Structure formats: C-alpha cells, structure tokens
Structure 1
Amino acid sequence: MSKFDDRLDTILDAATELMARYGFYGTSLERISDKTGMSKQNLLYYVKNKKNLLTLIITERYDETPEFVEFIRRHTPGTVDYEGPAPLPAYYRLLARVNEKRPVFVQLFSMLNAETLEPSHPAHDYFVKRENKTLEWACQAAWQVPDGVDIRATMRVCDATMDGIQVQWLHNPQISLTSLWADCEERLFPSPVWDGYR
C-alpha cells in the first residue's frame, strides 16, 4: 500500500468515527484534521472536499463490504467461482455477523439514513436510490426460496427489519445483533414454509 493510500485510510477512519457520532453537518474538516494530526490543507489534498469525503466513506467503505460482495459473487450465475443458489436467510445472517463486528459503520449508516431525509443533504439522492440499487445488485444472485415467494418483496422487508434492529442494537449493545436477527428470522422465514430453505 502506498503512502497516499495509508494517509487516505487514516482520514477515512477518522471521518467515519466522527460522522457516526456527530453526523455529516456536525463533523467539520477542522475536527477531522485534529483527529488525524494533519493540517486542513493536507487533508484537502487527499479528499478534495467534505462532500467527496462522504462519498468515499459510503461507496468504498460501507457499500463495498468484501464479505457481502464475495457472497453475492459466489452465488451469481456466470461467475467463475459460481457455487450455485444460496438460501436467502444465510445472506442476512452473514449481514448480521459482519455488522456486529463494525458498530461504527452501523452507527454511521443509521445517522446518515436519518440525516438524508433532508433533501439538501449531499447524500440525499444517493440514499433515495440506494435501496433499489442494492436490491438490483443482490437480485443478480440465484436464491433458494420456497415456491411462490417474491424475492424482491421479501428482501425489502428483510432490509427494513435489519435497519430497525440495528438501531435497537446500537441503543442496547449488550444484546448481540445476531441474536436480535435470529428472533426476527423465525418470523420472516417461518416453518413449515421455509423448512429446507435456510
């Protein structure tokens, strides 16, 4: 990794932590500069501006999570290492396991999700389009689901449920995210309909 990449990683780490706590508007470049020990001018050399910094955090850190990308790729027909269809509940269990290990990112997503309700927020359009974009990406994969199940509708409900329990978990981290999801899974994928598809 180059010195540029190392510095950029340092900036993104600091900005992620600060924006997760204070939001986009509550996080100034000066605050990031103080946390990284870099001058504001040096900071801008790496990220150009605050809006671009936010874009880097969302697209390169949150939405390009390697575990999720790899899972979808392995179950997408036509890829080199295609393994066949995947049970849908397995994907959401993976999501819960990965996000449980990165609470700062979950907090950042939850903070931005609320902030971007305001149309003037720089990430407003991205978050408006994100749900459909994420669904399109996930629906490339081949999924094992019971006959008659609408995969898109099911994933929308699962995504909304995951967003909700992640906020509950942030409020009460003594209860694991995976445990909270397991309780939801019993209701989202009930027996006997989903038996053999988990």
Structure 2
Amino acid sequence: MTLAAWQQILDQHGVAASGRPKPILASHEVTVRDTTSAKRFEKRKRMTQEERHLQILRAASKILAVKGYWGMSLQDISDEIGISEAALYHYIASKEDLLAMVLTEGYDTTESNEFAAFSASAVDADGHRVYYYPRYCLNTVLYNMQRPEMIQLLCVLSGEALNPDHPAHQFFTGRHIRRWEMIGSMNWLLPNGMNEERFFDLYTLVASAIDGLQSRWLADDSLDLLEEWMHFSDVIFPANVWGGISDPSERNPDDPRCLMPYTLQERG
C-alpha cells in the first residue's frame, strides 16, 4: 500500500529510471549540508575562520569515508586543502579532535533532524503539533539519499569503532540511545496498544533496517534505496494498523479534534 503523498515522491524520484536514480528533497526549505566534495580545494590567501573550519570538515569527511580513521593522516587533510600540516594545527588540536568534529557537526545535524520532522508533522485544531512516524522514517531515507559520502563515512567508522580502543567507540555505542532520547520526547501518533517499550523496539527495528538498506545501496548501484524502503514500510507499517496515522496528508484539515490524547505521551 502506497499513500498518494508517497506515490508522488516515487513519481518525482523516477524509480523506473535505469542506473542510480537522482534523489530528491522533501518539499520544504531544509536542505542537506554539503560536508563532502569530489573536487580538490583551491588555496585561498584570505579565508575566514568559519570558512576554513568548513573546508577542513569537508576534507576530513571525504577522506574518512574512504580511508577510515586508522588510514587517515593529518597530512592527507593538509594536502587536500593546500596548507601545511603545521598550519592545520592552528584549527584542530589532534587527529582525534578532527574526528570528533566530523561526527558532531557532519552527521547527526540539526538540519537532518529538521528535515525528517518538518513534513512528518501536523498541527491540530488546538495548535498542538503531532508527528507521524512512518513519514518521519521516509524523510530520514530521503535525506540520507542526498549524502552518500556521509553514509559511507558512517558505515566505515561504525565498523572500525567496534574496537573498544577506537576513539569513536563511545560515540557509536551511545548514538542509538541519544537519538532515542530525542525521538521518545516527540508527540507521535501511534497505534492503540503501543506503549513506550514497544515503540523503542520499533525504533530499533527501523534504524537497523535503514542502516542495512543503506549499506546495500552503497555497494550496489542498481539498488533503488527509496523504492526498497517503500517495500519495507509496507511490512513494518501495515495499513490495517497504521491507516490514518502514517502521513499528515491522511488528516482531514477540518478535523476539530485535539490530537494530543491520541499520542503516546498522553496515553501513557
């Protein structure tokens, strides 16, 4: 079952096209931050602190996605942006500091959270904003389709970080719970009978499914990530359970009800 709003996304995306389809953004103003680039950076005489910071972030993201943390050197970064390694230390304290910058500023960003949430919400007649989880998950996939280099970076680093001695080990072991703290605080419209424990299980299942699909997508150019996620959604969010609470487009704008009593937070 594909909702009309989702079919429009599929049509715009062009799932029947051969090769890797051109990804799209959801129809609002939040856009993906460009933290990687295929081209080398040109040396500039006068660059602001902010411009240099972003330049270093982009270069580190690009190289980490290919070499990982253990394979990357600070010389790689300085060569990429056209400054000496000694000059690089004016902007970062260490290789580990650079990794932390990439993880905190380049991946789980405010932009990504806003993108996923914006078109997955509706405001009821009393002014309360509520969220539709299936659409939120779809938006997460749409956002990640715009930044394959960053998804590759996450895959490479998360594999390396299985080693407890890796400097990103704690970041990745704690990431699932950190994101849950944000997800769990939102006003979700969820099926009757779903409590917080079951919603956490669903959240874990969705995160695992998206991560697995994204890994396959990076390895196989013929795989259409959006179309595959639509198929997964049919299984994870069956219409007989999620009908009416899958997407904001399902809500009648003239509905006079307050929707807060239907959220997990209000139901307890």
Tell me whether the two structures share a fold, i.e. TM-score over 0.5. Answer: yes
Aligned 1:117-132 pairs, distance under 5 A = 117-132=162-177
Write the distance in 1 (CA, Å) between the matches of 2:128 and 2:77: 43
**Which letter does structure 1 place at the counterpart of 2:241?**
V
CA gap 1:171/1:27 in 2 versus in 1, 3 angstroms: same
1:22 aligns with 2:67: yes
Q: Within 5 Å, give how 1:152-191 maps onto structure 2.
A: 152-191=200-239
Matched residue pairs, number? Answer: 192
| Partner Cα distance (1:30, 1:125) in 2 | 26
User: Which whole-Å deviations, capped at 9, do the CAs of 1:108-135 have from their partners, x for residues lacking one?
Assistant: 0111111100000001011111111110
Residue 51 of structure 1 corresponds to 96
Q: 1:23 is paired with a residue of what secondary structure?
A: helix
Give the 3-state SS of the residue equivalent to 1:47 in structure 2.
coil
Partner of 2:71, secondary structure, is coil
Counterpart for residue 79 of structure 1: none
- Paired residues of 1:47 and 1:53 also in contact (CA < 8 A): yes
1:61 matched to 2:102? The reply is: no
TM-score in terms of structure 1 length = 0.90
Confirm whether residue 90 of structure 1 aligns to residue 135 of structure 2. yes
- TM normalised by structure 2 equals 0.68
Q: Distance in 2 between matches of 1:103 and 1:156?
A: 22
What's the offset of the Cα at 1:173?
3.0
Query: Structure 1 residues 114 and 33, CA, compared in 2 at 3 Å: closer, same or farther?
Result: same
Q: Percent identity?
A: 30
Cα contact 1:18–1:27 (8 A) shared by 2: yes
Q: Is 1:151 aligned to 2:196, yes or no?
A: no
Correspondences of 1:6-21 after superposition (within 5 Å): 6-21=51-66
5+ residue gaps, structure 2, are: 1-46, 122-126, 247-268
Instruction: Say which is worse superposed, 58-67 or 113-122, in terms of deviation.
Output: 58-67
Alignment root-mean-square deviation, CA:
1.9
Contact preservation (8 Å) 1:72, 1:141: no
Show the counterpart of 1:141: 186
Structure number with bigger Rg? 2
Q: Secondary structure at the match of 1:85?
A: strand
Paired letter, 1:27: M
Pick closer, same or farther for the CA change 1:70–1:45 going to 2, 3 Å: same
Where does the alignment leave 5 or more consecutive residues of structure 1 unmatched?
77-81
